[in-house]
Every structure is written in C-alpha cells, then in structure tokens.
Structure 1
C-alpha cells in the first residue's frame, strides 16, 4: 500500500479485512488514524485506530452509547421511524448517565471477582461435560461444540435458567448475533419476541419462587438497588446476547492462539498458576472484540487531529488499539506471556467497561486449561491458514475450529 487511495471506501467491510485485518490496520494507524468508513446503505462512520485516541473516545461523554440516539440516527438515514425494543433500550450498555448509573450499581454486586471465582467448579463441570461429548469424534469442531455453548450454559446457569432451555438460548443467541436491526426479513423481531416471552415468564416465576440465582437476586434486591421488570428483562437480554458473543469469540480465539503457539502452551501446562496471569496478554493478542460498540457524536469532537461533526457514528477499532506499538512497543504483533501490564481495551474503558470482564476471563481460562490438560496432544485438523472468521462489526469469532484429539 503506497497511498490512502489503495483502500476501498468500504475497507473494513471486505472479506479480506475480516480474515486478516492487521496489515490494513497498521497502515491506517500510521497514515490516517481516524479514518472514514462508508456503508453500502450510504451511511458512514469514523474509525479510531490509535490507543490513546480510542481511550479518550471511550471516556468522552460527547460520544454517546444511548440507544435512543442511535435509533434516531438510523431513522434519519433510512427515512423511516425506528425505535429500539424495550429489551434493548433498558440495560446499562445501551444507556448513558443518569439512567446508566443506577443500573450499573444494581448489577455490579453480581459480577465481582469473588463471585466469578466462586463459579469455577460449575464452569469446570460444564467444560468437562462438553469435552466428554466431543472426545469420541474423529474431527470435533471446538467452536460449535465447545466455545459457543460454554458461555451460554454458564450464563444461563448464573441466571437460573433450567437446563432444558439451554439449547433454545444458544439458538436465540446465535440468531440475534447474526441479524441487523435494519434488515427487513422480520427474523430479528421473531427471535426477540421468543426470548422476551421466555424471559418474562421466567422473571414472573422467580418473583413467586426465588432461587439462588442472578435473576432472583435482581428481582428481590433491596429497594434502593431494585430494578423495574423491564430493566431486569433488558439486563437478561444483554447477558444472553452480548455476554455470550464476546466470551464465545474469546474462548475460540484463545484456544486457536495456543494451538498455534505450542511453546507457550507447554509453559502454561507446566506451571498452572500462570494461567490467570497470562489471560490479559492472550486477550490482547486475540482481540475477541473487533470494534467497541458504536458511539454517536452529540456535538463536534476532535480525535487524532480530525474534527468529527455532531450526529456521526464513531467506531473504535479494538483490534488496532491492542497492537498499537506506542502502547505495546515490544513486538505488538507477537504473543508474549511475560509482557508487563498489557492494558488492552477488549473490555472497554470508562463507565462502559464490561461488568462481566472477570467472569469472561474465568470461563476462557478454564475452557483452555481443561482442553489442553485432558487432550495435551490436540492439534489443528486443518492448516491454520484455512481457518475463517465470521464477518461481524463487533466481535471476531471463528466460523469453525476443527481439531484432532
């Protein structure tokens, strides 16, 4: 690449970028670190690629995560009135202060490191059960058989969802991940309605008969920390969709990275106490979040020397920031489990930092550790160059990860 015209105006939406984004991101980060991206529907966004600019953007209240602001912008661009469904419009990831603040406070108790650590035995049990199902297969797929179902089952268990509903939750989670609010088939609405109907009935049941689970704790919380039924429903949606997607992408990515780095894998297996200390470097290297959830500027904002007008979409490329040499000067494209303080942005920054970050780390650590402890000779069933990533603006999941045990 010798000039900015070497890139298509749809540069981040191409399949070549999806499969290998890092050379393009290195070029953009160097030449035009806040760069325009066009969409086929005529819309555009501004992509932020440098670590310091991204960190500033994530903490700037002028870049809004309020879902109502986003839907107003989509309405203007499509020429038809669009409003967010209540299931999407009432959880903290899609709101700004003042509404964001009490929601964050209300659920923070459920995602403390201590609570996440307490789930370790249950996560190990679920991981082993999934591996038992794969053990006899000649070429198991670790995405569909392991990385995808593991976080769904763990989060369903956390919420008190009965085991017979777990397959439905996996189906809903997959469907919601692969549809856009602007597509017209109606599939998104149907899946939202199905999940909403089930969750509403489950909430009503736990109002009558609470259990030892997250939904019951939210429903029967102290008055000053209690959410409305709609907010509880919306929080459940956020956990069963966004929480599953990011963690599944992380699990698959970390396992693939360790399959491709046998020396690092051997070090972890020889010294199990290093797993926890190595997770942040693995997450930085893998970047399971391709881009942070989009923001909309509520007034003009200057980032990286570019003034972005009000009413514009801003995309923060986490994949790029996690390999910015100004933040990670020692071989940013390499996996170094001894790297000091790899302060990646995969879980965000500021008030929207992921509440479930520690739980995601616990699930991923256990998933990788149990796989390699039980099957130390596991290897790729295909050449690693044949692995393919799904095209998705937010998460970066592998389509499949076939292995031989």
Structure 2
C-alpha cells in the first residue's frame, strides 16, 4: 500500500513526478482515483488513474477528443480566441465521428498487421545502418543516435519522404514534441510552417508522379477512401509527430528496461521466438505514454464515483492504469515476461485505438533485439538512477541513454 502523503495541487507537473511517477500514482489510485489537478494557466483538469475507469472513459463519447471542442474551452478560459492549426485539426486522432470514421477507414489499409510485418526487412536494414554508425565508439547516447531516428526514418520512408529530408524530419519531430497552443515564442509556429510547407510540396509532387508509398496511396485512392488535401496533410503531421514520439519513447524505454533486467534480456536472446510475445509486457512495464490525449467532457459524467462537470479537461493516466493492481494483481511494478494477459492501455482503447500500434511494436522489437544481438556486451554508462526523463504531457521519453560496450 502506498504511504500516506500530501500532494501539491500541481503534483502531476513537477519534475519529481516526471522522474519517478509510480509511488505517487499508487497513492492517487488508492486515495483519490478521480481527482482534480491545477494547471499553470489557473484552470484545472481531472485525472483518471484506475484501469477500469480509464477504459470506460476512453470508450465514452461524452469524453470528447475533438480538438475544436478543446480549443473552444481554452479560448473561454484564456479570454482570447485560439484556433487549432489545420495541420493538427484534420486527422483522426483529433476528431470524433462522423468525421473520424471516414478518416480511419481511409488509412487503416496502410497499418494492417500484414502490411506492418512486410516492413520487417527494411526496418532491420535501417536499424543496422544506425548501429553501424555507432560501432566504432566506446560510449554513445542511444536516444539521439538510435531510438529517436529509427521510427522517424521508418515512417518518413513509409510516406515516401526522400532520404535527404530525413534529418529535417527528425528535427521537426523533436521540436513538435513540445507543442503548446499557448506558446508565444514563435519557434513552434515556425517548425509547423516549415514542416507544412515541405509536406505540401511533397503531396503536390506525388499528385503528379505517384510512388509506392502511403502518401501516394492516399492521394490517388478510390472515391470512397479519398481524403481532402488538408486531411492528407494533417494525417502526415499525425504520423510524423504522434507516431514518432510514441515509438521513439517506446524504443528507448524498452532498451533501458532490458539493460536493467539482464536475466530477461539473456532469456530473449536465447529464445528469439519470444520477442513478439514479450512486447506487450515490456510496453506495459515501460509506460512510454504518460497520459492518453486529453479529453473534454461535453456534459456532466460520473466516473469512479465522481461527477465531472461539463466543459472540463480530463487526463487519463495510462502510466497509472498499466500498473493498477486491480488489472494486474501479481507484482504490477515488476517486469514479468510470463505475465498471462498484459492488456495495457498504451495504445488507447475504442475508436481512438492507435492505428499504427502493430507497426510501433515491430519497430521496437527489431530496434531492441538488433541492438543486443550485435552488441551483447552493451551496458549502461551511468547508474540507472541517473537516467532522466523529459517532462511531457503525453509521452515519457528519456533525455539520454548513455551506454558503453
């Protein structure tokens, strides 16, 4: 049982929480499983921490994911009109039915398990190319050199982005990871404009000369699956931001977990056929997602015995649900590759379940497996307690993962 403690009203926004959230989340699950938290702008949000409550909220249309609903609420709270950029406002992760439905149908063909599996040979090549660059070093950072670029290159190539633009895509992806609609510096706006301009020109080029890639397939789809140019642009943004962030956080986290669990690592290397089955437990344990994308209540909703009023921001703590003893009764804070049903919520639930979940698993599996196959002596260059995580409202990426071999 979690020790009794007094929490700051900003408890989820502190660096202490970012670095080690699990003791706090255990306390909150037991004492206040649906609770308020203060936001820096003077507003508030509601945090849902238990597995069953979170699963119910993710499937309930009264918890809206529509980005326009969210921006309308922020506009009222800030006293100024905030409008979502079109690049963020026209993809399925930020919309609800009826607009969500045709968008999901249009891109689902690209992310079937069969299509994702077909990418294995190329993902393996990309992983090896990145590892080749590090082979002569005695010490390196696996986040900057491996975990971050691996999914960026895979997804950029999937969309038909030429290799000379991959460094720009990595830079844009990292910059947009900290996107905030209330940012006033202009830096994020410039990154959005640069990526938008590049994607628009790429889409125009593929309209003239289609290739064997996702963007070309979307542009030249048959009438019932055809998206508007803005929807195609927005979908590209979603892949380059949400897809990259999640998978990069996952790759780095899984590698770090296996570096600190040598017995589990040796077991997987001795039985390579176990990697696929082990991925869900590794993902559950690592918790690459801090929280599901925020929702806004469209009417009063009772959940977990608490009534949340209408027009309230709701944060669903996926890190908490993935260690909820009610769902994972046997040592939820431990990595157990024999866990029977590690049914985590890292990829969401319901209509907003991540379309690219299977691809993210494959990228992570190959990324971790190939590293340890090629460098079986790789080890952390610092004590595990020295690893630091970036503060982010959705994902929980490591700042760096220094290793030596």
**Partner of residue 27, structure 2:** 27
Q: Following TM superposition, by how much is the alpha carbon of 1:3 offset from its aligned partner in structure 2, in angstroms?
A: 5.1
SS at match of 1:251: helix
**Partner of residue 289, structure 1:** 289
- Whole-angstrom CA distance in 2 between matches of 1:161 and 1:40: 38
**Partner of residue 313, structure 2:** 313
SS at match of 1:97: coil
Gaps of 5+ in 2: none
**Partner of residue 83, structure 1:** 83
**Partner of residue 400, structure 1:** 400
Task: Give the TM-score normalised by structure 1.
Answer: 0.99
- Whole-angstrom CA distance in 2 between matches of 1:75 and 1:193: 22
**Over aligned residue pairs, what C-alpha RMSD do you find?**
0.8
**Partner of residue 342, structure 2:** 342
- Whole-angstrom CA distance in 2 between matches of 1:40 and 1:53: 26
**Partner of residue 177, structure 1:** 177
Write out per-residue CA displacement over residues 122-144 of structure 1, whole angstroms, 9 at most, x where no aligned residue: 10000000001111122100000
- Whole-angstrom CA distance in 2 between matches of 1:85 and 1:211: 28
8 A Cα contact 1:181 1:188, kept in partner: no
Q: Following TM superposition, by how much is the alpha carbon of 1:43 offset from its aligned partner in structure 2, in angstroms?
A: 1.1
- Whole-angstrom CA distance in 2 between matches of 1:48 and 1:155: 32
**Partner of residue 154, structure 2:** 154
Write out per-residue CA displacement over residues 253-297 of structure 1, whole angstroms, 9 at most, x where no aligned residue: 000000000000001000100000000000000010010000000
8 A Cα contact 2:113 2:358, kept in partner: yes
SS at match of 2:35: strand
Q: Which runs of 4 or more aligned residues in structure 1 lie more than 3 Å from their structure 2 counterparts after TM superposition?
A: 1-4
Superposed counterparts of 1:246-257, under 5 Å = 246-257=246-257
- Whole-angstrom CA distance in 2 between matches of 1:179 and 1:229: 23
**Partner of residue 218, structure 2:** 218
Superposed counterparts of 1:382-397, under 5 Å = 382-397=382-397
- Whole-angstrom CA distance in 1 between matches of 2:282 and 2:217: 33
**Partner of residue 168, structure 2:** 168
**Partner of residue 50, structure 1:** 50
- Whole-angstrom CA distance in 2 between matches of 1:179 and 1:340: 38
- Whole-angstrom CA distance in 2 between matches of 1:197 and 1:179: 18
Gaps of 5+ in 1: none
- Whole-angstrom CA distance in 1 between matches of 2:118 and 2:3: 53
Superposed counterparts of 1:73-152, under 5 Å = 73-152=73-152
SS at match of 1:76: helix
**Partner of residue 197, structure 1:** 197
Task: Give the TM-score normalised by structure 2.
Answer: 0.99
Q: Following TM superposition, by how much is the alpha carbon of 1:250 offset from its aligned partner in structure 2, in angstroms?
A: 0.1
- Whole-angstrom CA distance in 1 between matches of 2:84 and 2:220: 27
- Whole-angstrom CA distance in 2 between matches of 1:86 and 1:129: 35
**Partner of residue 267, structure 1:** 267
- Whole-angstrom CA distance in 2 between matches of 1:305 and 1:331: 26
Q: Following TM superposition, by how much is the alpha carbon of 1:78 offset from its aligned partner in structure 2, in angstroms?
A: 1.1
**Partner of residue 244, structure 1:** 244
Are 2:226 and 1:234 equivalent residues in the alignment?
Answer: no
8 A Cα contact 1:179 1:187, kept in partner: no
Write out per-residue CA displacement over residues 34-80 of structure 1, whole angstroms, 9 at most, x where no aligned residue: 01110111011000000000000000000000000010011111111
